[in-house]
Structure 1
Amino acid sequence: MKVVLLGNGNSVHIVRWANGLVSRGVEVHLVSAHTCGLDFDSRVKLHKLSIMAPWGYMFGVFSLRGILRKIKPDIINAHYASGYGLLARLSGFKPLLLSIWGSDVYAFPRKSKFHRYFLKENLKAATAIASTSQCMAVAASKIYKHRHVFITPFGVNETHFILDDRFRGDDVVIGTVKSLKSIYGIDILLDAFSKVLNYFNGKRSLRLEITGGGPDLNILKEQAVHLGISEKVIFNGPVNHDDIPRILNGMDVYVALSREESFGVAALEASSCEKPVVVSDAEGLAEVTVEGVTGFVVPKDNPQAASEAIIKLVQDASLRKNMGRAGREHVLNRYTWEHSLDVMLEVYRCAIAIHKER
């Protein structure tokens, strides 16, 4: 099979799809309006459009058409429904599988009626839609109800994300790996952790580790000072994806209190490392967490509920261990990376068949 991936060559997720597909014997061509600066498998063929993003989303179509004429792919898979979705639509190439990511169907259409219409036309032009989660597929259907929608979860490399106790210390560590943006509820996590510290009142040695960069760093540091917990909070800053298993294995409890989340891959990575999770009921997180089994699901914007769930796990080491093991089993049963590749390859075959039937 010959596949053209149309997407951001600087995205770790695009790299994983490209490298994963080529490992399965697929001839993969990545066409991008961004610089391809990451570690692609040497077998992935890289093509940079003559005009870069954002103008490349429209005016790069002439360069794209020339590339497609030379490659003659079996299918084009555009990643991100707004910018690259437009570029794919303008190319006129079919079959087209449009992979939606999250903010393209949640935030983008909220900007204006024009943005909503723009997205609708991109979805409508696709042969089929691929969504990493059921909840995101539902969100897309509110923009345009496509006949052919497939769920293609972004799985976890379970051999990379695995329990490793070498990174554990004496403190009970609560942690998260998230961008420091309001949508991800780091402020709620700080409030919840403050309540946890007040509950134990120095009787347990606790620490909060926040890994990730973003525009709210200084605001969050000020909040920690205001709450009087700054000495117990560590901001690790951004890290390479390869370092995340080490970060997760230094935690006892993983917490994600996002206000909105299209798919909870970070929570799954924690589960794969046998860490119990406390997540908000943002749809993408709740979808991948088995309440009371792999962790606890709490209401959004509710630091009290989050603190109560964290306290339960801090108090009970056997509960942490049992939930962690259940989380690992959950990942192995439903969310491995190899399973994700199986699903995507089958979706490609289905989209090609749908196009041929038209």
Structure 2
Amino acid sequence: MKIALLSASSSIHSIRWANAFAERGHELHLISLPSHAKTNHLISEKVRLHFLPVPTLLGYYLNSIAFKKILREIKPDVMNAHYASGYGTLARFSGFSPYVLSVWGSDVYDFPYKSSLHKRIIRKNLLAADRICSTSKVMAEQVRFLCPEISRIEITPFGIDTGIFKPAFRNQQTNTITIGTVKTLAPKYGIDTLLHAFAYIKERMVKKDSPVNLRLMIVGGGPQERELKLLSEKLHISKNCTWIGKIPNHEVPKYLNQIDIYVALSRSESFGVAILEASACGLPVVVSDAGGLPEVVVNGVTGFVVRRESPEEAGEAIMRIVENTDLRESMGRKGVEHVKSLYDWQENVTVLERILQDRSKGV
């Protein structure tokens, strides 16, 4: 199958899809704006890379002629655009069919609500596709809310490579428990809620005269870094916090395997890829009830789901895991089983592969 993948070549998610299809023997053409050219060293040599001439946001409109020319040259069996706003607009202008559109998150959660014009653009882009794909059920419902006319939406989870994300040896003799997260330091990800939850736990543990030493590891960079570090000082937990900063994607497993309990208290999430990565590494998880996060957690089995904006409820859930070694180990083990059964990357690639094959045949 000859596939035209219209997506940001700088995104690790785009790279993983492109590499997966190319490795399966498909002729994969990744077409991207030049402003999305970084991290190309991660792209397989089997992927054929094309850059459109106009960078920045205007490129989604001004690259139409150049994009059509590329499509005429490669003559793909099917086109798959990722992200309904920018690349979805360019895909619509091409008029190419068969065309599968994959929505990602902020393209359907945030972009349509910037103005009535933005909502009209998204609706047009969604309706122009022959098939819509979503990584989560909750995001599929958001698409239906924007476009009630769309009845069929395929669920294509963004799975985990369990050969990379897997449990590592842990020193069980230490009395230090590390609570951690791997997230961008931005308001939507609720790192401030995590800090308040950790302060709540620390106070409770001190009152209990617990022998457990608690550590909070925050992996990631972002616009809130200074603000959050100041908050940790205000909450008197700065000495317990380790700020790793932004890391490349290939180092994520290394840091996950330094964590004992993974926590994500986001205010908004389209899908819980980071949660699945943590579960695949054998970590019990505590997540907020935001967006697609509850979909990837078996509540009470692989972790706990708590109300967003509730540091006390999150703190209580984390403490249950901290204080119960058997529960911690059980949730970690069940998390690995859960990921392998439902979110294995190769199985998820097969799902999208079948959708693209069906569309290329007019099914």
SS at structure 2 position matched to 1:245? helix
User: Quick one: distance in 2 between partners of 1:91 and 1:295?
Assistant: 45
1:11 maps to amino acid: S
**Secondary structure of 1:207's aligned partner:** strand
Residues 149-186 of structure 1: CA deviation (Å, up to 9, x unaligned): 10000000001000002588652000000111110010
Matched, 1:187 2:188: no
Answer with 41-50 or 136-145: which moved more: 136-145
Change in CA separation of 1:319 and 1:349 when aligned onto 2, cut-off 3 Å:
same
- In the alignment, which residue of structure 2 is the partner of 1:177? 182
Match of 2:13 in 1: 13
Contact 1:178–1:211 (8 Å) recurs in 2: yes
Does the aligned pair in 2 maintain the 1:167–1:249 contact within 8 Å? Answer: no
- 1:97 match: secondary structure: strand
Aligned residue in 1 for 2:84: 81
Partner Cα separation in structure 2 for residue 276 and residue 120 of structure 1: 39
Shift of 1:240: 0.9
Which residue number corresponds to residue 2 of structure 1? 2
Whole-Å Cα distance in 2 between the matches of residues 155 and 167 of structure 1?
28
Aligned mates of 1:282, 1:346 — CA distance in 2 = 30
More moved, 267-276 vs 161-170 = 161-170
Could you tell me which residue of structure 2 aligns to residue 26 of structure 1?
26
The answer to whether 1:285 aligns with 2:290 is no
Distance in structure 1 (CA, Å) of the matches to 2:322 and 2:75? 57
Retained in 2: the 8 A contact 1:167–1:250?
Answer: no
2:78·2:98 contact (CA, 8 Å) conserved in 1? yes
- Kindly state the Cα deviation for residue 52 of structure 1 after the two structures are TM-superposed: 1.3
Tell me if the contact between 2:167 and 2:257 (Cα under 8 Å) persists in the aligned partners: yes
Distance 1:129 1:336 in 2: 21
What code does the residue aligned with 1:148 have?
A: R
Q: Deviation per CA, 1:35-93: give whole Å up to 9, x if none.
A: 43221000100000011121110010111000000000011110100000000000110
Partners of 1:167 and 1:158 in 2: CA distance: 22
Are residues 1:259 and 2:246 paired?
A: no
Is 2:144–2:151's contact at 8 Å kept on the other side of the alignment? no
Are 1:125 and 2:128 matched, yes or no?
yes
* Contact 1:155 1:335 survives alignment (8 Å): yes
CA RMSD of aligned residues (A): 1.2
Number of the residue aligned with 2:161: 157
Aligned counterpart, 1:95: 98
Matched, 1:57 2:60: yes
Distance in 1 (CA, whole Å) between partners of 2:176 and 2:216 is: 10
Partner of 1:43: 46
User: What is the CA–CA distance in structure 2 between the aligned matches of 1:118 and 1:54, rounded to whole Å?
Assistant: 14
State the SS of the aligned residue for 1:142.
Answer: helix
Q: Counterpart amino acid of 1:165?
A: F
Structure 1 counterpart of 2:348, from 330, 340, 358: 340
Match for 1:245: what amino acid?
Answer: P
1:250 is the counterpart of 2:258: yes
1:147 aligns to 2:151 (yes or no): yes
Q: Secondary structure in 1 aligned to 2:102? A: strand
Which amino acid is 1:13 matched to? H
Structure 1, unpaired ranges of 5+: none
Q: Distance in 1 between matches of 2:118 and 2:243?
A: 36
State the match for 1:327 in structure 2.
Answer: 335
- Choose which of 330, 350, 354 in structure 1 pairs with 2:358: 350
Counterpart secondary structure, 2:146: coil
- Match of 2:190, as an amino acid? G
Gaps of 5+ in 2: none
Contact 1:127 1:148 in 2 (8 A): no
State which of 233, 236, 240 in structure 2 corresponds to 1:228. Answer: 236
Q: Report SS of the residue matched to 2:54.
A: coil
Aligned amino acid, residue 164 of structure 1: A
Q: CA shift at 1:311, angstroms?
A: 0.3
Distance 1:54 1:102 in 2: 18
Alpha-carbon distance in 2 for matches of 1:331, 1:232: 31
Counterpart residue type for residue 37 of structure 2: C
> Secondary structure in 1 aligned to 2:292?
helix
Q: Tell me which amino acid in the other structure corresponds to 2:280.
A: S
Contact 2:190 2:266 survives alignment (8 Å): yes
- Which string of whole-angstrom CA distances, capped at 9 and with x for unpartnered residues, describes residues 91-150 of structure 1? 110111110000000011111111111100000000010100000000011111313310
Change (3 A) 1:276 1:53: same
| TM-score, reference length from structure 1 | 0.97
CA distance in 2, matches of 1:167, 1:244: 19
- Residues 326-357 of structure 1: per-residue CA shift (max 9 Å, x gap): 0000000000110111101011123234xx36
Q: Distance in 2 between matches of 1:185 and 1:3?
A: 38
